[in-house]
Amino acid sequence: MEILSIPVLRDNYIHVLHDVETGATAVVDPAESLPVLDVLAQRGWILTHILNTHHHADHVGGNRELKRVTDCRVIGKHKGSEFIPDLDFPVGEGDWITLGTRRVQVMEVPGHTLGHIAYWLPEDHALFSGDTLFGMGCGRLLGGTVQQLWTSLERLLGLPDDTRVYCAHEYTQNNGRFALMMEPGNPALIKRMKEVDRMRSENLPTVPSLMGMERETNPFLRPESPEIRERLGMPDAANQAVFQELRFRKDAF
């Protein structure tokens, strides 16, 4: 599977998946249509699928035009008022999608929104996490609950360390600054931030990251860290409570 990431808007990524053997091509969360159509034309690819993680405008803004031009199929979670434009195939937990020679697992990961899903390609160790998991961060609560988001992140933590995490935004540098404030003594975090600062100074993407790297440096995946607990004054709190305090502090960061 060939994977390209197109930077759009201020800090979004549209991820393009192309199965070399069959020509099947999907985009994940097309915020806009024109950048996708440009890449398809340059590569000679034909769009067959849109995979939406959730309903926010900066993730579905290109759906209608892409479907009109390419007659692709739109896949996403149907969840009440969380409207996915031109949705063809509603999916949920336990569903699998066929994309060329690959099978794509649908994972329900609510919290950022109630209907948020992620897409996991086990053969490629690639996760398309939308706004649930970012580089050194996680999504805000915009419809779901703290418990839902923490449960979703715990689930993603079960994926292999070499999983490539394709999130939907270039938030890594800002997230890392917050992480350093919460865990300044973490050597893996210090090392990662030096590399992130270098990459961003050269206008290079920090996406994808690796799940193993997130385990070591993402404070939202590290509520058991003694240093984080000391910073928050929560030495004996449950992991979910520590996570909740981190999320609320990041909202005001």
- Which are the catalytic amino acids? 54, 56, 58-59, 112, 131, 169
How many CB atoms lie under 10 A from the CB of residue 249? 15
Estimate to the nearest angstrom the gap between the alpha carbon of 88 and the chain centroid: 22
SS3 sequence of 76-111:
ECCECCECCCCCCEECCCCCEEEECCEEEEEEECCC
Neighbours of 139 (CB within 10 A): 29
Q: At what angle do helices 34-43 and 63-70 cross, to 10 degrees?
A: 40
CB 58 within 8 A of CB 52: no
